[in-house]
Amino acid sequence: MSTPPKDRYIPNALKFAFGGGAGMLATCVVQPLDLIKTRMQLAGRGKSSFTVASEIIAREGFFSVYTGLSAGLLRQATYTTTRLGVYNYLFDMYREGNQGASPGFAIKTVLGIAAGAIGAFVGTPAEVALIRMTADGRLPKEQRRNYKNVVDALARIVKEEGVLKLWRGATPTVARAMVVNAAQLSTYSQAREMIAVYISEGILLHFCASMISGLVTTIASMPVDIIKTKIQNAEKGQSQMSVVTNLIRKEGVFSLWKGFLPYYARLGPHTVLTFIFLEQMNAAYFSMNEKA
């Protein structure tokens, strides 16, 4: 009799580590788009993403497009890892309470929203540091915060403004995560099902479904994202409500979708790259176990 194949199982702790690691690798690729998106959200009217990108490179140098990378990586390490961990925990709890039955699509969406909200709250300090670091270059030199890295940013925020400022804008950050998770879960699965008729299973299918999902998610989540960005970059003492009312009064309702192109260009590829890196990590783990 032939030897049965080894069970292709990955421990939960490694699942979380792989998920966070995949998100961090994807961030290394799309960080410039994140910076351009943030600058557009904070800039006045009339500037395209290409104009903003060329201004950043001309004024601050080519490698400035990776400003805030350490904060972006910390955000993935906290937000993505927590979100995946909580989702898997809630998923397993549901199965244990329902005689091993897997949750349906609606329950999966609810679990995803809950996991996204918790992950976003945990990741808010890194998000605040990221917004400030990517926005710093647009200010006059005498007004810049000049954070050296994410650790310096977090330490100075606590020292200069108090520990609670690390969670500035936590409400819109959590709201954005809930919207993003709800939109991504529903549209990605639906788009993948429709496209699978024409494209076989593989990276191309995942890419197309991710880009469609990213379009819907961008439209739905951008207003919350821009409000979050404005609040987290606001000066000390400025209330959250005044930030929102000033934005709409001065720039109009459609300013809530400012930076649409880099936001969309980041969201789809980040999902695809995260998936590709995650699959490679899983394959490497299985390969090592099979050789052992």
Residue 219: its pLDDT value, please? 86
Q: What is the CA radius of gyration of the chain?
A: 20
- Amino acid 198 reads Y
Q: How far is CA 244 from the centre of its chain?
A: 22
Residue 71: its pLDDT value, please? 93
Would you say residue 255 has pLDDT above 80? Answer: no
Residue 172: its pLDDT value, please? 83
Q: How far apart (Å, rounded) are the C-alpha atoms in residues 32 and 193? A: 32
Residue 104: its pLDDT value, please? 77
Would you say residue 162 has pLDDT above 90? Answer: yes
Residue 23: its pLDDT value, please? 87
In a domain, 258, yes or no: yes
**Which phi and psi (to 5°) does residue 7 adopt?**
-65, 120
Choose between 8 and 239: higher pLDDT: 239
Residue 150: its pLDDT value, please? 94
Total domain count for the chain?
1
Residue 160: its pLDDT value, please? 92
In a domain, 292, yes or no: no
In a domain, 3, yes or no: no
In a domain, 2, yes or no: no
Average pLDDT over residues 6-15: 68
Residue 46: its pLDDT value, please? 63
119-149 confidence digits (pLDDT tens): 999 999 999 999 899 888 888 888 888 899 9
62-119 confidence digits (pLDDT tens): 888 899 999 999 999 998 888 878 887 888 888 888 877 877 778 878 888 998 899 9
Q: Residue 18 has which token pair?
A: 């792989």
Average pLDDT over residues 166-183: 85
Residue 155: its pLDDT value, please? 96
Domain containing residue 114: CATH number: 1.50.40.10
Angle at the Cα of 54 from the Cα atoms of 52 and 59, rounded to 5 degrees:
95
Would you say residue 194 has pLDDT above 60? Answer: yes
236: closest CA among 148, 133, 145, 175? 145
In a domain, 272, yes or no: yes
Mean pLDDT of the chain: 82
In a domain, 4, yes or no: no
14-33 confidence digits (pLDDT tens): 888 888 898 899 999 888 88
145-158 confidence digits (pLDDT tens): 889 999 999 999 99
Average pLDDT over residues 274-292: 79
In a domain, 56, yes or no: yes
Cα-based distances in Å from 14 to 18, 133, 274, 278, 280: 6, 30, 15, 11, 13
215-249 confidence digits (pLDDT tens): 888 888 888 878 877 777 776 667 777 877 877 88
Would you say residue 209 has pLDDT above 70? Answer: yes
* Domain that residue 144 falls in: 12-286
In a domain, 23, yes or no: yes
Would you say residue 2 has pLDDT above 70? Answer: no
